[in-house]
């Protein structure tokens, strides 16, 4: 057992933590090792790690080799927990505008001005354009009522208006929802301007998940940046900004026909059931009575892939940073003089970008679920103001462990996020496993964009986050914190 005695009052925590610290080996994460993992995983050889693609499996092999080097063994003799996922590889995409057939074309560039929706269809369109606001045709708010979309390209805004009730907007929130609506009205393609506040105006985002099937295999769905959207609507009846302003102020449709024509062509390789998988390893505990209790540490390995030959979404922060810290946690465990009592399960989830499918698959297929004491998730830990540990509202005792490790070692934890479990932790929380997600606080400047590269990782932040994660996981690997067996008990320090 780790050399702490935790049973009584939190009031003495600081004193005892300081005393205990003198008894422990102070293992430090290696910044270069962390950064090497991130540089590797975000490099072009893995092509953005799209789940179900060859690039994803090459990244998985890299992670397996790293885990094995750090003393982690394949769980029950097999590293891979296989399952199927929707996989859509965008091979090429073009977008251009013109006023008249013989006029000069304005060409927009994939990866600079626009991206394709994760589940875009393939196809060619050269047509007139109609602006249809948010692309809604529900009851009294019908943005298709005064325009003819038949045979045309629909230009709209991403997202939904705040003033409409959720039972209306839920049917038009995703790009696939909007595309199905446009397709129903006879349109030949959808171009949805990215209005997300989390995205820079001049850099395209890519997200694999863009709504539930069915897939529209021959219906292109493109997503220009806000800057590109402004250019598409320049010199028209309304600019992008004036159209948005009128929609917000009048709460009435502002649809109209554009003067411009748009030509677009998209080529894809769509697989409705491509083979992907979770990578699952075990670092065996050393205590005969506790080695069959598990601490699960997880991070999703996949990202948004590559579009065309030059547009890559590297995913250095999202989520090579989380994977790197998971791998570094394994390396530090191997170095620890006092080895864990509990066994630690390391999971790299596939299809995390598809509504965290991999974590759902894991909990549905991991047989000794009742032996999992706690789940720790790692995501987006490459920069920010501090580290947030989400889940403190539902599992305050678990949060107290992270807080005390932070007090002892890093002073880097956002005090209280007052949150429930999120992301991969949702699948564990749903079956009663105490869960905590380490992520950044105010650090998503490069979220799902091409500039999410290793050079934009905050190395000091990464190292401190890795230290906090390791010490928390290390502490949980001993018997002081009891999760499923004592959910109502607070974690207290003598």
Mean pLDDT to the nearest integer, 283-294? 95
SS3 content of the chain, % helix, strand, coil (to 5): 30, 25, 45
- Separation of alpha carbons 294 and 75, rounded Å: 12
Check pLDDT > 70 for residue 7: no
Please give the torsion angle defined by the CA atoms of residues 282, 288, 290 and 294, in that order, rounded to the nearest 10 degrees.
Answer: 10
Query: Residue 146's pLDDT is what?
Result: 92
- Give me 380's structure tokens: 């987006």
Q: Specify whether the CB–CB gap between 189 and 220 falls below 8 A.
A: yes
What is the DSSP secondary-structure string of 395-420? -HHHHHHHHHHIIIII--B-S-----
Q: What is the pLDDT of residue 383?
A: 93
pLDDT reported for residue 230: 98
Q: How confident is the model at residue 394 (pLDDT cuts 50, 70, 90)?
A: very high
Quote the CA–CA distance of 224 and 234 in Å, as a whole number. Answer: 14
In this prediction, residue 18 has a pLDDT band, given cuts at 50, 70 and 90, of very low
Convert the pLDDT of each residue in 420-461 to its tens digit. Answer: 889 999 999 999 999 999 999 887 778 899 999 999 999 999
Residue 25: per-residue pLDDT: 57
**Cα(229)–Cα(223) distance, rounded to whole angstroms?**
9
Q: Whole-angstrom Cα distance, residue 52 to residue 43? A: 18
- Residue 5's pLDDT band (cuts 50, 70, 90): very low
Q: What is the pLDDT of residues 206-260, one digit of tens each?
A: 999 999 999 999 999 999 999 999 999 999 999 999 999 999 999 999 999 999 9
Confidence (pTM):
0.91
What pLDDT is attached to residue 200? Answer: 87
The per-residue DSSP string of 244-300 comes to HHHHHHH-S---EEEEEEEEEEEEEEEEEEEEEEEEEEEE--S-TTTTTSEEEEEEE
| 132-155: average pLDDT | 95
Alpha carbons 448 and 264: distance in angstroms, whole number = 23
Q: 269 pLDDT exceeds 50?
A: yes
- What does the DSSP assignment read for 96-109? EEESSTTSPPEEE-
For 462-474, write each residue's pLDDT tens digit.
999 999 999 999 9
Residue 425 to residue 483: CA distance in whole angstroms? 14
* Position 50 confidence tier, pLDDT thresholds 50, 70, 90: very high
Per-residue CA distances from 490 to 221, 303, 388, 440, 482 (Å):
50, 37, 20, 25, 9
* 3-class secondary-structure state, position 59: helix
pLDDT averaged over the chain? Answer: 91
**CB half-sphere exposure, 50, CA atoms < 13 A:** 25
- Dump pLDDT digits (tens) for 353-385: 999 999 999 999 998 998 999 999 999 999 999
Q: What integer is the mean pLDDT of 57-67?
A: 98
Residue 20 in this model has a pLDDT that exceeds 70: no
Q: With 80 as the cut, is the pLDDT of residue 23 above it?
A: no
* Predicted local confidence at residue 490, as pLDDT: 40
Residue in this structure with the two tokens 């590109």, named with its chain if needed: 228
């Amino acid at each position: 057992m780790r050399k702490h005695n935790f049973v009584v009052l939190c009031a003495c925590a600081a004193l005892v933590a300081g005393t205990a610290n003198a008894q422990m080996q102070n293992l430090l994460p290696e910044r270069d090792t962390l950064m090497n993992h991130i540089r590797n995983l975000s490099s072009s050889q893995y092509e953005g790690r799209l789940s179900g693609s060859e690039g994803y499996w090459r990244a998985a092999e890299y992670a397996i080799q790293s885990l094995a080097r750090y003393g982690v063994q394949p769980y029950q003799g097999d590293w891979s927990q296989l399952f199927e996922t929707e996989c859509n590889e965008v091979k090429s995409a073009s977008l251009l505008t013109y006023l008249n057939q013989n006029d000069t074309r304005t060409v927009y560039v994939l990866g600079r001005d626009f991206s394709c929706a994760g589940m875009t269809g393939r196809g060619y369109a050269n047509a007139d354009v109609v602006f249809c606001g948010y692309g809604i045709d529900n009851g009294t708010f019908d943005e298709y009522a005064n325009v003819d979309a038949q045979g045309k390209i629909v230009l709209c805004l991403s997202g939904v208006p705040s003033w409409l009730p959720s039972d209306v907007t839920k049917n038009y929130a995703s790009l696939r929802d909007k595309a199905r609506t446009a397709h129903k009205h006879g349109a030949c393609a959808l171009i949805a301007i990215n209005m997300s506040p989390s995205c820079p105006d001049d850099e395209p985002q890519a997200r694999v998940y863009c709504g539930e099937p069915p897939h529209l295999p021959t219906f292109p769905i493109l997503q220009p940046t806000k800057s590109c959207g402004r250019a598409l609507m320049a010199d028209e009846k309304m600019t992008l900004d004036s159209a948005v302003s009128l929609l917000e102020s009048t709460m009435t449709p502002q649809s109209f026909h554009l003067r411009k024509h748009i030509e677009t062509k998209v080529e894809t390789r769509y697989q409705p059931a491509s083979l992907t998988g979770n990578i699952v390893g075990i670092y065996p505990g050393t205590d005969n009575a506790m080695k069959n209790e598990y601490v699960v540490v997880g991070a999703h390995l996949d990202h948004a892939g590559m579009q065309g030959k030059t547009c890559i979404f590297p995913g250095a922060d999202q989520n090579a940073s989380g994977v790197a810290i998971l791998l570094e946690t394994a390396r530090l465990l191997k170095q620890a003089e006092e080895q864990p009592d509990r066994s630690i399960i390391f999971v790299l989830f596939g299809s995390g970008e598809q509504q965290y499918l991999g974590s759902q698959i894991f909990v549905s297929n991991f047989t000794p679920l009742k032996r999992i004491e706690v789940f720790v998730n790692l995501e987006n830990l490459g920069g920010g103001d501090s580290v947030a540990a989400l889940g403190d509202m539902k599992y305050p005792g678990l949060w107290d462990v992270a807080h005390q490790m932070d007090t002892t070692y890093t002073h880097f934890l956002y005090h209280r996020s007052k949150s429930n479990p999120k992301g991969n932790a949702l699948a564990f929380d749903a079956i009663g496993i105490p869960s905590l997600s380490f992520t950044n606080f105010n650090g998503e400047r490069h979220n799902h964009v091409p500039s999410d590269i290793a050079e934009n990782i905050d190395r000091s932040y990464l190292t401190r986050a890795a230290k906090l994660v390791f010490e928390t996981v290390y502490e949980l690997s001993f018997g002081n914190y009891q999760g499923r067996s004592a959910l109502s008990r607070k974690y207290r320090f003598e």
